[in-house]
Amino acid sequence: MKIHRKMIGVLALFVVMLSVMQPLEMKANEIDTSKSCGVERGRDIVFVIQDTPAMQAQDPLQDRITEALYMVDQANSLDRIGVVGFNEAVTKPFPLSSNKYQAKAALKKFAVYADENANNASVGLEKAIHDLSDPKSVNEKIIILMTVGTSIHNEKSLALATEAYENDIQIHTISFGSTPSSIIDESTLREISRITGGNFNTAVNASYLRDVLSNLQQEIVNFRGREVRSDWTLTSDVNLPQGLLVHNNVTINLNGYNLTVAEDIVLMKCAKLRAVNGAVIQAKNLDQKSGSSIRLNNSQLNVTGKVTQDGSIVVNGNYKNSAEPELALASYTQRIHGYLNLNGQEALISSPILQEGHIDLNGGTFHAKNNLEQKGRFNVQEGKLQVDGNLMINGGPLLDDAYIENKSLDVGAGVVQVGSKDSMEKTRQSGNVTQKNGQLYVNHGTVRIYGDYIINDGWLTMIKGSMDTDTPQYGEGDGDFVHVFGDFSTASKRNHATRTYIHLGKPMNDQGHLTDGVLKIEGTFTQSGDGEGHPIYSDRMLQYEKDYSRYNFHAEGRHKVALMNKGKVSAQTKGFTFNLLELHGKLADYPMDPYVRWNKLNEIVKSANSNLASLSINDKAVPGFTPSVRDYFRFEVPADDYPAGGAQTLKVDARPQDGNALVDILDRTLASDGTGQVKVQVTAVDGTKSIYTVEVKIGPGSGGKVTSIKLDRNEIVFTEDDSGGYNPDKIVIGYTVYPTNATNQQVNWTSTNPTVASVTPSGIVTPHTKGETSIVATTADGGLIDSATVKVMGQNDLLQGIKTLEDFVSDNDRYDKIMGGLYDINNIGIVVPGNYIDRLTFTASGNLTGGKIELVNDVDRVEVRINGTTLGANKVDKHFIFNRASMKVTDYVEVIAYDAASNELERIGTTYPVNFTSTSGVSPGYYSIKTLLENQVIFNQILEEYSPKQLRFSAK
């Protein structure tokens, strides 16, 4: 889990980090749901039992207890059991434990039921989800909810079911009640189970309940088709007349053959489907459970019906060197745990799309022929997202200042195109973008919206550019560039302005969202909203619960808005500001509201410039290109770029001299005979047109030879754990051999120091002892290499030099590694002093600088350390004093109290000349980082009493 923080005001920003850290921990489940696959694991089961007289009335024989005890008896050594009771509040909680005797004792307590008859299942579910949300556990996570009647706060229970699903927790619901007085809310219980992939049952009797508890994981019943329960490698093409169910931990390797399934393919948890060497997986429907995986190497997945993806799909290499997409899908729903990596290839989806998980294009093309709703992380990454219908942006709040952990649409130097010029001429019902929430992060990319762009909430983030936006040449590829061919309107509640304010007595900064790039609008511009949640704080400090629409369009820096066609400009709020406003025409031509204001205004006369500034094909500049010359001949495309057996669409990059001119690619097809033509039309603002043509043919290629190799990481860090092993215990390095259709894709792996870390022939790195080495990947063809540095560190190596809370949060890279899972955050934290040392007051007398140390309880001796150098401290009455010749600002001073056996009782730290005073507002003692993350109120109280320089960092 990568967390990046811009340290502006260490204390206040750390508070922000804590406020968002918990959602980030949950986000790790987006991709890593398969981390427990292939390892021995058990089940973490929490019984959530209604503890009321009504439950006893519906289950007088207490079958719920008897059968739960039986289930505990059947548990294996890796299973852990927890118990939570509930009525109006949580009762009789028992934390997860592998101790069967204690778990059974906890369950037996429910034989004596509580007097309270309220039924609030949400409190029990909330406690159970918290207990199960340990990211380090590889066990399956299960909640068994036993209840009767109708619970209050059902909306919260359903929201908790979604949270459980995000954390890969299944909830099985069991209702009790057969008498006329029982009122079972079956619909809510069924929905809770449906959301999490669990089952709903009614407890008819003890025998039936035992059967239910013994078959919790039976998700598929009466499956119509073949069930595969052991690994299977195909030796010929397979055609199945019905469906295919692949059970847990089973791998099917197509081995170069085709798999055709007439009905459904269902992949259970940890099931794997691998296709290589031009194989095709074809089915009517595909249902991928969390943790399952599909890997396509130069192969294709073709589904004519519905795809529900909650596992991973990774694409490597072009399918048969053809123009066909590697993913050809009809209906596509990606759930929260779903992960898709196109790795430069193509996906074509014909029906509406709901995307809730994580998609990486990595230079690939994702073509949605219908509508697309983005709710998860969507990284275009130098690729292209094309939506022929309408796009809805509906992600989540901003979790980090670097915008890398958010559920955003991140263009990332790629292209997002919604609609087309042709579709715009036919209808205004497509080509539109509605931003309901979340973020459009342009990130040095290009966004073309051929309809309207409507922002109801969320952020438009334009902060990157490579040249001055005031130059007419600025266009696509020069930085953030958003072109709206229809109307633009924003009513977002989110602050877009750079803001400085005070939080907890410390300065804070919110970075602006409109500081660079160009927003080009052909239609009208409308800004509305006049709410402000707080005159000082930003919306992120108030958990995005307030209305900040006053600043929802506040541009600065180099940001430019170019208005092209004399459309109306409306602004409702006092906080509205254009930075550079470029009007094509005169100011008097544009109807404007009184609140419209700008930092700089340019009026542009329509240009007749229809020249190109540059022209390249397949990333290669056309030789001898001159803007005034229109026709070119004998341009050669390398044979490696030309797939045999079909036409080729060439990549064309045409940049106009006038960034406001329109460029249309009229022809870029290379025919099957290896010849073709590129034709580019440039239309100036005043309507003047020019056409450039380039004759293209196939040239020589690499002959199937490898040209390069690229690893998926540059550095790997292992850290020693409490047991003497390392965390993680191994890592698989991914790689790509270029060209991806090279004949020999074999890679050989070596470690420059295998005593530190070794690597297997498949790229699995295992640490052995502390030190540093490099893992080198060498292609069998050509001997080309890439490498990654491996650091195997001691348990506390990363913690060296961290003395205070301020030290802990001041180094971004170190902080990322510590919080990224290398350490148990229960075992690192801060110490709030005050049990022994009450006060340190610095003094000055002549040339001497010293201090007075006042104590709460008696100690045997006190030691003072200044920048690590130990000084004596003399006892005078009930306090200690020390002196030295001089001290300078920022000297780090520690005071350590010892008992008669020289055991350390307590230490405090501060930086000269900041005095230290303990407080009664916060209980002294150790507070783990985990505790601080989960109890922000306590942490805020600590920070109000102590400076980060005074809070000693501690590692157990």
Among the listed residues 518, 496, 607, the one whose alpha carbon sits nearest the alpha carbon of residue 562: 518
Residue 952 has pLDDT above 50, yes or no: yes
Q: Are residues 670 and 719 in the same domain?
A: no
List the CATH number of the domain containing 749.
2.60.40.60
Strand partners, 238: 259
pLDDT digits (tens, 9 = 90+) for 684-722: 988 899 999 999 988 776 667 887 888 988 888 888 877
Q: Are residues 108 and 134 in the same domain?
A: yes
Domain membership of residue 68 (yes or no) is yes
Written as one string, the DSSP assignment of 430-451 is: SS-EEEEESEEE-TT-EEEESS
Q: Are residues 774 and 816 in the same domain?
A: no
Residue for token pair 């009614």: 202
| For range 158-186, the mean pLDDT | 82
Question: Which residue did the predictor score with more confidence, 936 or 681?
Answer: 681
Q: Are residues 428 and 524 in the same domain?
A: yes
What tokens does 245 get?
């169910």
Q: Are residues 306 and 435 in the same domain?
A: no
CA distance 519 to 581: 10
Query: Which of these ranges, 249-253, 409-413, 424-428, 786-790, has the smallest mean pLDDT?
Result: 424-428
Domain membership of residue 25 (yes or no) is no
Domain membership of residue 379 (yes or no) is no
Residue 31 has pLDDT above 80, yes or no: no
* 276 in Cβ contact with 299 (< 8 Å): yes
Of 197, 214, 231, the domain-final residue: 214
Q: Are residues 817 and 919 in the same domain?
A: yes
Q: Are residues 133 and 37 in the same domain?
A: yes
| For range 12-35, the mean pLDDT | 39
Q: Are residues 621 and 659 in the same domain?
A: yes
> Model confidence at 349, in pLDDT bands (50, 70, 90)?
very high
How many domains does the chain divide into?
A: 6
Q: Are residues 791 and 805 in the same domain?
A: no
Does 913 sit behind a cis peptide bond, omega within 30 degrees of 0 on the bond before it?
yes
List the CATH number of the domain containing 626.
2.60.40
Q: Are residues 726 and 693 in the same domain?
A: no
Domain membership of residue 8 (yes or no) is no
Q: Are residues 469 and 523 in the same domain?
A: yes
pLDDT digits (tens, 9 = 90+) for 465-498: 988 999 888 889 999 999 999 999 999 999 898 8
Residue 2 has pLDDT above 60, yes or no: no
Range list of β-strands (E), 619-688: 620-621, 631-637, 648-649, 652-656, 662-670, 675-683
Confidence (pLDDT) at 426: 75
Range of the domain at 687: 612-698
pLDDT digits (tens, 9 = 90+) for 833-880: 888 888 899 988 777 888 999 988 888 899 999 888 888 888 888 888
Domain membership of residue 878 (yes or no) is yes
Domain membership of residue 397 (yes or no) is yes
Of 773, 795, 817, the domain-final residue: 795
- pTM for the whole structure: 0.64
Domain membership of residue 628 (yes or no) is yes
Q: Are residues 894 and 827 in the same domain?
A: yes
Question: Which residue did the predictor score with more confidence, 532 or 52?
Answer: 52
Residues 6 or more apart whose CB falls under 8 angstroms from that of 156 comprise 122, 126
Q: Give φ, ψ of 259 to 5 degrees.
A: -120, 115
**Across the beta sheet with 747-751, what order do the strands follow?**
726-727, 715-720, 785-793, 771-779, 747-751
pLDDT digits (tens, 9 = 90+) for 616-667: 998 889 999 999 999 999 898 877 666 554 567 888 999 998 888 889 999 9
Domain membership of residue 691 (yes or no) is yes
Of 605, 640, 657, the domain-final residue: 605
List the CATH number of the domain containing 156.
3.40.50.410
Residues 6 or more apart whose CB falls under 8 angstroms from that of 800 comprise none
